[in-house]
Chains A and B, each alone.
Chain A
Amino acid sequence: MFSLMARHGYALTFALLLAEAIGLPFPAAIALVAAGAAVAAHALWGPYVLLAAVAALLLGDTVQFWLGRYMGWALLGFLCRVSINPETCILRSAESFYKRGKVTLVIAKFIPGVNTMAAPLAGSMKMRFWQFLRLDFAGALGYTLTYLAVGYLSRDFLAAILRGFHAAGRAMEGVIVAALVVYALYRVVQYRKHRMYRVVPRVQVQELAARLASEDASHVLIVDVRSHGYYDSGGARIKNSIRIEPNNLEEEIKNLPKDKDIYLYCT
């Protein structure tokens, strides 16, 4: 990353930050730290790096803002599906807007998960474009300057780490292999957890519809477990279903009848 940064610094900074701004999982903060170190080493010129980074963030965020304005929940849902935790994704971002209001845009880039969602949420919430641009510019500038400064100030430290990596080649291989093993174990645990969820019986729509049309319908309770973030004005749900908030299941469960079969659904 550091040698790449020294050679193609401006283009790389622009590309990585644009990629992050449009929601792709790229290490933009690391790129900025590397660029900061390159500036300290006089391989890059600071103002150009700053310009490339802020321009990329503003371009990506502006695209997201207008997509959010015209696509609304469809885009937010898509962005959340590709995130690590889809269920909390919109909630976390929306709650940030609830708590902090417009200032969210200024700090969003420092909060994983919220950073990708802030611009499209602002668009879907009908924020005025020039207001969005002002706040987003402040956020982009703060984010870029912070990480560039980290790279600039820790140049010697980063160089020492790189020298350490070269000197401790074998040890590093061991660390990388260990990290891969830990990651593989984590994936196995996740897989087993999801297998456990599959134990819950699944029914086809036709099967449930037939039961609802029979005399047995009174023993059926259909429950909507979409989180409230997925609701939008004019939203629909299965007729006669009730809603429970999955993030508050401990409390919600107290009101559920045990003498009925519960059919859960989401989007």
Chain B
Amino acid sequence: MLREKGFNTFVIVGGLTAWRKAGEPVESVPENDLVKLPTFS
């Protein structure tokens, strides 16, 4: 869909797992991006 809309798009092979395995930098997901599931405790 992104390509149909004219975006030059690529897919990273192996995703986040491959990125981590290669030792590339990661960061914590910001709090406001987290959608927490309800807890019943």
Contacts and interface: CB of A to CB of B under 8 A. Distances in A.
Contact of B11 (A127, A200, A206): A200
A231 B35 contact: yes
Contacts of A260: 8
Interface in B1-34: 1-3, 5-22, 24-29, 33-34
A81 interface: no
Contacts of B24: 205, 209, 238-239
Interface stretch (A8-16, A47-55, A118-126, A156-164): A118-126
A233 B34 contact: yes
Contacts of B21: 205
Given A98-B38, A101-B38, A236-B27, A205 B19 contact: yes
Contacts of A125: 37-41
B9 A231 contact: no
A70 to B, nearest CB: 15
B2 to A, nearest CB: 6
Interface residues of A, number: 51
B17 to A, nearest CB: 7
Contacts of B16: 224, 226, 236-238, 265-267
Contact of B22 (A101, A205, A234, A264): A205
A200 B40 contact: no
A173 interface: no
A267 B1 contact: no
Contact of A236 (B2, B3, B15, B26): B26
Contacts of A222: 12
Contacts of A202: 10-13
A28 interface: no
A198 to B, nearest CB: 9
B10 to A, nearest CB: 5
A123 B16 CA distance: 26
Interface string A208-228: 110000000000001010101
A209 B23 CA distance: 10
Contacts of B5: 253
22 contacts: A97-B37, A98-B38, A121-B37, A126-B39, A126-B41, A202-B10, A202-B11, A202-B12, A203-B10, A203-B11, A205-B22, A222-B12, A235-B28, A236-B27, A237-B28, A238-B26, A249-B2, A253-B2, A261-B9, A263-B10, A264-B11, A265-B15
For the complex of A and B, the 9 pairs showing the least CB-CB separation, nearest first, are: A126-B41, A127-B40, A239-B25, A228-B35, A265-B12, A236-B26, A265-B15, A235-B29, A205-B22
